[in-house]
Amino acid sequence: MKDAVQTAVVGVTGYAGAELARLLLRHPRLKKSPPIFAGRIDEKDAARGGVPLIEIHPHLADNNGAGQLKLQPFSWELLAESGVDVLFLATPHEQSREWAPEALKRGLRVIDLSGAWRLTDTANRAVYAFKDADATVAEATQAQAVYGLPELHRAEIAGAKLVANPGCYATSVILPLRPLVAAGVVDLGSGVIADSKSGVSGAGKAPTAKTHYMYAADNLSAYGVFSHRHTGELLEQIGLDANQIVFTPHLLPIPRGILSTIYVRFDTPQTRESVAQTYRHFFAGSPMVRLYDATLPQIQYSVRTNYADIGFQMSADGRRAVIVSCLDNLLKGASGQAVQNLNVMLGWGEAEGLE
């Protein structure tokens, strides 16, 4: 990798794309090389050289030149001429499925924020119903993908050509559950319940009947019961089968943030200190995880940060625990995690540009 790293973002118009642009523009290692922003634009905007970034996201205006940047018509030639090293795809799953193989072929490293490459098991991946033009190329690309949760796969991410950024719900459940399951203390026969609630931005920028104000405001609704596409990530990354966990997402009438409440039963009685020690050991060296002691996390503590907050309470007999996990779905659940992966890939401090 060159000393001066050039990044590019495709998909800057969405919520996650906006946060990604903000983080990259202010990253201390990238001040001399702002991202290239590319995407589909109409002929009129192409004729004027693209759409000024601050027309799309006025809040990104600053005194460091962001006002001069434009969303340009996407082409592989543009990326080559600009000397792009790392390509962020904040694109729909199907688009990432098509473009990631071509990017790898052209020597780019890719961080994909979609669900295109997160799942290794074909049965789990079926929820996306991908229709690949070349199944052989798709499988070869999938074999190169590393699941982009640094707290689990830091070493693999460092050498990866393709990082599949995790889902937001998945991150909020995997992080609190994986340490306990890996330690062998969870009674999986009794099952695990993960009850998760997310702000409306998790559904993306395109309005739908279920996400507009009149439906979401003053309301709380469950959806994707037994069918949410992040379930496969939980199974693969925690090491569970489908009969061992019930994951239910809910739409919370707030702009952003996730709170997951997770219910577990232990094989043998545990103490508060033994569970806390399991977490401390697992997350040693993980700067983006905060472990709570006396209190439980709340969305307001983690929103607009890249932290995943984890806390728990024990039953009096030590056989059960209620774990609460909070994060910002647009940051640790999407763009902040993507930048965290960039830092790991390039050998930079994992929390650079994120604290």
Residue with tokens 């693969």: 236
Active-site hit among 25, 69, 116, 168: 168
327: three-class secondary structure by DSSP: strand
**Closest alpha carbon to 37 in 49, 53, 16:** 53
Instruction: State how far the alpha carbon of 112 is from the alpha carbons of 91, 162, 263, 336, 354, in Å.
Output: 8, 7, 31, 13, 19
Token output for 283: 């997350």
Give the integer Cα–Cα distance in Å for 305 and 288. 9
Give the integer Cα–Cα distance in Å for 191 and 240. 10
- Tally: H helices and E strands in the chain: 14, 15
**Sequence-separated (6 or more) residues with CB below 8 Å from residue 242:** 231, 235
* Residue 168 is a catalytic residue: yes
Give the integer Cα–Cα distance in Å for 304 and 302. 6
Token output for 3: 């000393």
Output the DSSP codes for 223-270. Answer: -STTT-TTHHHHIIIII--GGGEEEEEEE-SSSS-EEEEEEEEBSS--
Give the integer Cα–Cα distance in Å for 100 and 162. 8
The torsion region of residue 94 among left (phi > 0), alpha (psi -120 to 50) and beta comes to: alpha
Residues involved in catalysis: 168
